[in-house]
Amino acid sequence: MPLTVQEFLPDTQQIGRGVVIGNAGADALLESNKQAYLLQFVQRPAFTSLYPAATTPGNFVDALNTNTGNSLTVAQRNALVAQLTANNTTQGRADVLRAVVDNAAFQTREFNRAFVLMQYFGYLRRNPNDAPDADFSGYTFWLNKLNAFNGDFRSADMVKAFITSAEYRKRFGLN
């Protein structure tokens, strides 16, 4: 199930709460907010229904790895299983989740999809399949275009297209 703007905004607000980049302690506060968020995230019913507490460390790491497109190397997978075996707690699960989503291969693979999604969330303030769209065809168009330009959003004219769109301009009373 895709991430929605209604889920995304409160989560990003929680992570960024009180953080002012450039102020003393901003990095430490951001890190603390991320840790608190992940600890709370792994306790959400939606997460625990997919990954029950009784799931073994190996099965937990393997499920996360499968759901992220098998981003982990065998060595990374084994290290996370050992880490979780040593600390099979809610905090341990949050730490392993963080390691998986911070994995460079996963981030590289997901960057373009996330970038296109952020255009919808940021500029249009809606989900890619909300009206006036009924499906993900617009999202798919922009993802394919961004991929065709090897992630170069400038060459793909992506941001320009969103901020000059009738939908975006209508938000500000412009024609």
Residue 142 included in any domain: yes
Residue 46 included in any domain: no
Peptide bond preceding 132: is omega within 30 degrees of 0, i.e. cis? Answer: yes
Residue 81's nearest CA partner among 59, 53, 107 is 59
Residue 112 included in any domain: yes
Residue 167 included in any domain: yes
Domain boundary among the residues 86, 102, 118 is at 102
Q: Which pTM was predicted?
A: 0.88
Q: What is the pLDDT of residues 112-130, one digit of tens each?
A: 999 999 999 999 999 999 9
Q: Exposed (0-12), middle (13-18) or buried (19+): which is 24, by Cβ within 10 Å? A: exposed
The confidence score (pLDDT) of residue 1 equals 65
Q: Which domain holds residue 140?
A: 108-171
Q: What is the pLDDT of residues 3-17, one digit of tens each?
A: 899 999 999 999 999
Residue 7 included in any domain: yes
If you search the block for the tokens 């991929």, which residue do you land on?
A: 147
Range scoring the smallest mean pLDDT among 42-46, 111-115, 170-174: 170-174
Torsion, Cα of 152, 156, 160, 166 (10° steps) = -140
Residues 112 and 167 in one domain: yes
Please report, rounded to a whole number, the percentage of residues in the chain having pLDDT higher than 70.
Answer: 99
How high does pLDDT run on average in the chain? 95
Three-class secondary structure of residue 158 per DSSP? helix
Residue 32 included in any domain: yes
Residues 157 and 117 in one domain: yes
Residues 97 and 112 in one domain: no
Residue 47 included in any domain: no
Residues 29 and 73 in one domain: no
How many domains does one find in the chain? 3
Residue 134 included in any domain: yes
Residues 113 and 97 in one domain: no
